[in-house]
Amino acid sequence: MNNREENGRLIAQTRKEQAYTQQEMSTQTGINKSTLSQIENGRFSGSLDIYERYIDALGLQLNVEPKTRKLPDWDEIDTLFGED
């Protein structure tokens, strides 16, 4: 699963590929330009409705999937708990 920063980079890249500025997207979606910037920089912690409205305008969608966890390999155990 992507984190906020990775999602933001994808959103910004998609907007730029579609040749839109943040100001144009702000006008189109009714979302403040500073909010769009927060989303693209991975710092948005507001309404899911706003987030979805923005990504939908770009032709993207939000997917929810089970979280994956990676356990360390046995060989990594010593480095994780080393005495520094």
pLDDT in tens, 16-64: 999 999 999 999 999 999 999 999 999 999 999 999 999 999 999 998 8
Cα 63-64-65 angle, rounded to 5 deg: 120
- Tell me the DSSP string of 1-64: ---HHHHHHHHHHHHHHTT--HHHHHHHHT--HHHHHHHHTT---S-HHHHHHHHHHTT-----
Q: What is the pLDDT of residue 69?
A: 79
State how far the Cα of 79 lies from the Cα of 32, in Å rounded to an integer: 46
CB atoms within 10 A of CB 9: 14
Give residue 84's pLDDT. 57
Residue ranges of domains in the chain = 4-57
> Tell me, what's the pLDDT at 75?
73
CATH 1.10.260.40 holds for 4-57:
yes
Q: Band the pLDDT of 68: cuts 50, 70, 90.
A: confident
